[in-house]
Chains A and B, each alone.
Chain A
Amino acid sequence: MSNNIKELHLSPSQIAWKRFKRHRLAKISMWIIIVLAILSILIPIISGHNVDQPNIMKIFTASSSEHLFGTDENGYDVFTRLFYGGRISLSVGLISALSAAIIGTLIGSMAAYFGGWIDSILMRITDTMLALPVLPLLIILSAIDYKKLIHIFFNFIQKISPSIIHSSVLFVDQKFQSFVDAELFGIIRIIFIISVFSWMSVARLVRGEVLSLKNREFIDASRSMGAGHTRIIFKHLIPNALTPVIISTTLSLGAVIQYEAVLSFFGLGIPSSTPSWGNMLSNSLEYFVKSPSFIFYPGLLISITVICINFIGDGLRDALDPRQILK
């Protein structure tokens, strides 16, 4: 209890940081993730090999000083590709988890704040999506031929629009078609699919928090001073309901990175021209007997990242839970 007094002169974020540091595994994990991220960002400078230029003379070489982790079936340097893959996998994970958190927070807070039929509709949608089996759904959504879908959409627009703008509709259609062909689209598609199907738990969490907050005195005070709905939701309710969101988003980051790998395993992930941990792992499955070390690296990196993220989430839970007393 005496230590409790020591916390009094610290700000909430300082207390949280102090508690987070006490979770030794979380601290180590955070450093590992930071190192992985820095390596992924700096890989073009660190590595002497070009990620797009395979050396056909050297396929399946063992690790050496030139190729730290050896080369793969096409003669690409595995080390270089791994950290280029890290760029993709980490950013796909981060962006999907963040957008899921944003969608979930918005829906959850609106449902709880407005209540009534808005709440009923939003929560029915949430329950609906929560009850659907995620993996088959992800497989279906990844199998969708977006090129055709866009084409159907623009054909429809062309049909209902006046003939003067037909050529411009056609132009936009072609622009979209070439965008779908671009490598970037493969990544955006995965981010979209994953985030559309992982916001539900956050929405429920936020709804629960906001329900308990919205009748508190400080909200009444804010309303009596003339604050509108938007101000109350964004300035008062969401910041106070954010703690469980931060924790669950951190934990879901690990799951998202695994989803990317699973989708790649079914051949529906990021196209293999762009390296990601998921598609490197599933590509290497074919060469398991020939070169087992080769499946090991992407699998290891995925596992390390997910473990570290889970420990960080655990540490955050300890750090941000206000009911805990620093012992």
Chain B
Amino acid sequence: MRKYILKRLSLMIITLFGITILSFIVIRLAPGNPADLLEQQGGEIVQKTGQASNESMDEFRRRYNLDKPLHIQYLTWIKKTILFDFGNSLIYKTKTVNELILERLPVTVWISFMTIFITYIIAVPIGVLTAVKENSLTDKTITVILFMLYSLPSFFVAIWCINLFANIEMLNWFPAQELEWNYPIGKLLYHSILPIFCSTLASYAYLSRQMRGSMLDVLRQDYIRTARAKGLSEKIVIFKHAIRNSLIPIITIASAILPELIGGSVIIESIFNIQGLGLLSFEAILARDYNVIMAIFYLSSLLTLVGILISDILYVLTNPRITFDERSE
């Protein structure tokens, strides 16, 4: 097992280097570097931060190494990045990238965790139900409904929600904006109902189909037949024997879902105007805030890689028929 994990970790480091190089190139491909954009905006931001004249633009370039060749920029960047030092944000100059990210992280984490939590609470019972009643009318109806939810573009749903449920002219039930993570818990929940509702819609289908598949696998096992044969009631067979075992692969999925949610938060956060990581990355891309974009790319890829690794390890640990040696082939 140690050999397997070591091998995976070394592969992960190579991949991570690839990620930094690729994202570095892609970001620099987008023309208009931050200094140019600042100049175009008529020094609007320059004034805001108290910097005065055109000379400061040269200084700006020098300070953030924008005047150096690409490979030197990359090398200076990667040296700091290894120690998780991403430098200052180019737009919010007084803040370091780490401060900025820590500021925006809690609300994204809150929404992501709530989304996963609620998805599991709703999707797992649905998966069990559709597996127990395989190919019945219930199974088919639920499948069709879930597929429909999955097919709706999330921004489409989000905009309908805002205009229906957070509109003074229509139904003014929920607030559409102003979600901050340090609200008292009741207010926080109330404010996050719409965003969480919108970001869960698409994931029910995937998770409940997985649960259904895993449950069907378990129900075909011999020990389920044995349990039935010795006269246990169907309730005990399902709840005590089948569900527990079919939950294992589903739990391992969670670590793979999480990074995806952080990527997908761009849409929900920019529609609901939530000051989270997704919105930050969108703003940073538009302003070519290299340091912030690179930090977000780096961290979210790292999270994805770690998530995949954890779910692979959990998969082997929970499945005694597979050994680590086989997996590393």
Chain A's closest residue to B267 (CB) is A262
Give the residue among B140, B259, B281 with the most A Cβ atoms within 10 A. B281
A141 partner residues in chain B, CB cutoff 8 A: 26, 29
B286 partner residues in chain A, CB cutoff 8 A: 143
B152 at the A interface (CB under 8 A): yes
A131 and B19: CB pair below 8 A?
yes
- Number of cross-chain contacts by CB at 8 Å: 123
Give the residue among B19, B26, B151 with the most A Cβ atoms within 10 A. B151
A289 partner residues in chain B, CB cutoff 8 A: 163, 167, 169
B263 at the A interface (CB under 8 A): yes
Chain B's closest residue to A278 (CB) is B153
B65 partner residues in chain A, CB cutoff 8 A: none
A175 at the B interface (CB under 8 A): no
B304 and A131: CB pair below 8 A?
yes
Chain B's closest residue to A211 (CB) is B329
A144 and B30: CB pair below 8 A?
yes
B125 at the A interface (CB under 8 A): no
B211 at the A interface (CB under 8 A): no
B15 and A124: CB pair below 8 A?
yes
Shortest A322–chain B CB gap in Å is 18
A261 to B169, CA, bound (A): 27
Instruction: Give the interface segment out of A11-19, A64-72, A132-140, A184-192.
Output: A132-140
B160 partner residues in chain A, CB cutoff 8 A: 295
Some 28 contacts from A to B, beta carbons below 8 A apart, are A124-B11, A124-B18, A127-B15, A127-B305, A128-B15, A128-B18, A130-B304, A131-B301, A131-B305, A133-B263, A133-B296, A134-B263, A136-B266, A140-B285, A143-B30, A144-B29, A144-B30, A144-B31, A145-B32, A148-B31, A152-B31, A262-B153, A281-B156, A289-B163, A289-B169, A303-B156, A306-B150, A310-B151
Q: List the interface of chain A (C-beta within 8 A of B).
A: 25, 124-125, 127-137, 139-141, 143-145, 148-149, 152, 254, 258, 261-262, 265-266, 281, 285, 288-289, 292, 295, 299, 302-304, 306-307, 310-311
Q: List the interface of chain B (C-beta within 8 A of A).
A: 11, 14-15, 18-19, 22-23, 26-27, 29-32, 140, 144, 147-148, 150-153, 155-156, 159-160, 163, 167, 169, 259, 262-264, 266-267, 270, 281-282, 285-286, 293, 296-297, 300-301, 304-305, 308
